[in-house]
């Protein structure tokens, strides 16, 4: 028994479909030993994957960036995700996909003949409630001490784990990480800043994981006539923002209404957030 986990749910492991409670990998799996692997999370609404193409393209990019070769085509991945969703019978849920470099004698360099370990599971998720959307999140700042390849969706998540715990210990919902005085991202989300009606986000580079919602919010902003600027954003600009918000697969888009103990702008979800939220809901409804 694992608290809050349905051990009877069916997962995919290296070509087999098994109960989560029965799925086993070797202690010599490099994902376990070195954190040598990557992952992605595809959200689904009413059993239908949302923005799957973007997620699978990112999965393939992550694999290529650490030279893991998997024998699965894009079509195979799609079938895997859709098949698992069907089997699960779940409505709003997420498909977690993880690939590690496989099982080998413990040695840092890539093994010659290891077969990558491929694991997928489906878990339910609850869309952000009307109360959370209305109240917004609280956040505090912290230094970004992670490595310099944050664009890879690596399972080596210790920096993100410690960042999230920093928020928990501070009694807030999220952290905003700053590197050399400039905004990077949250513990597991991208961060958006609004000043004078302009939506801004840190540029796509190695200092952030480009969320699949990055392009989506950019599209939604364009459709709503909101100018968007991707550029380095200083901590002072974040302190003086009219609006702050975050985005991720499970949080969708949410306002941050309290930052470092002070209200952001009016302290209420702002106009730009409302426009992006309406666009997001419409995109989900159109699935």
Ligand X SMILES: Cc1ncc(COP(=O)(O)O)c(C=O)c1O
User: What is the binding site for ligand X (CB under 6 A)?
Assistant: 160, 185, 188-190, 209, 211-213, 247-249
- In the bound state with ligand X, the residue whose beta carbon lies nearer, of 59 and 272, is 59
Q: Measured from the CB atom, is 62 or 88 closer to ligand X?
A: 62
Query: Residues 150, 152, 158, CA angle at the centre, nearest 5°?
Result: 60
In the bound complex, what is the minimum distance in angstroms from residue 111's beta carbon to ligand X?
27
Shorter beta-carbon distance to ligand X: residue 54 or 102: 54
Q: What are phi and psi of 4, to 5 degrees?
A: 65, 15
Identify the active-site residue in 86, 105, 112, 153. 153
Q: Check if 153 is active-site.
A: yes
Token representation of residue 8: 């009877």
Distance CA 264, CA 137 (A): 10
Cα-Cα-Cα-Cα dihedral sign, residues 208, 29, 107, 111? negative
Shortest distance in whole angstroms from residue 114 CB to ligand X: 26
92-130 burial code (b ≥16 CB/10 A, e <16)? bbbbbbbbbbbbbeeeeeeeeebebbbbbbbbebeeeee
Comparing every residue's Cβ against ligand X, the nearest one is 211
Question: Could you tell me the smallest distance in angstroms from the CB atom of residue 60 to ligand X?
Answer: 14
CB-nearer residue toward ligand X: 176 or 209: 209
Closest distance between ligand X and the C-beta of residue 158, in Å? 12
Query: Which active-site residues does the annotation give?
Result: 153
């Amino acid at each position: 028994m694992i608290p809050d986990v349905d051990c009877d749910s069916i997962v995919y492991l290296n070509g087999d479909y098994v109960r989560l409670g029965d799925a086993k990998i070797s202690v010599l799996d490099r994902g376990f030993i070195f954190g040598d692997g990557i992952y992605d999370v595809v959200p689904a609404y009413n059993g239908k994957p949302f923005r799957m193409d973007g997620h699978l393209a990112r999965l393939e990019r992550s694999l290529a960036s650490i030279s893991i070769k998997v024998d699965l085509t894009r079509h195979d991945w799609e079938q895997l995700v859709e098949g698992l969703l069907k089997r699960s019978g779940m409505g709003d849920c997420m498909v977690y996909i993880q690939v590690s470099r496989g099982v080998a004698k413990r040695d840092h360099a890539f093994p010659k003949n290891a077969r990558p370990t491929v694991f997928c599971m489906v878990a339910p998720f609850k869309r952000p409630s009307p109360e959370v959307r209305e109240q917004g999140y609280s956040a505090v700042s912290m230094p970004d001490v992670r490595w310099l390849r944050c664009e890879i969706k690596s399972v080596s998540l210790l920096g993100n784990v410690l960042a999230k715990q920093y928020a928990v210990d501070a009694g807030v919902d999220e952290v905003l990480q700053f590197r050399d005085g400039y905004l990077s991202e949250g513990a597991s989300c991208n961060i958006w800043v609004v000043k004078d009606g302009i939506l801004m986000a840190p540029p796509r580079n190695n200092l952030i994981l480009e969320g699949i919602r990055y392009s989506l919010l950019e599209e939604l902003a364009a459709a709503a006539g909101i100018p968007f600027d991707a550029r380095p954003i200083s901590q002072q600009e974040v302190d003086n923002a009219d609006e702050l918000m975050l985005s991720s697969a499970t949080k969708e888009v949410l306002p941050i209404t309290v930052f470092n103990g002070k209200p952001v702008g009016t302290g209420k979800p702002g106009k730009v957030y409302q426009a992006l939220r309406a666009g997001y809901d419409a995109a989900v409804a159109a699935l």
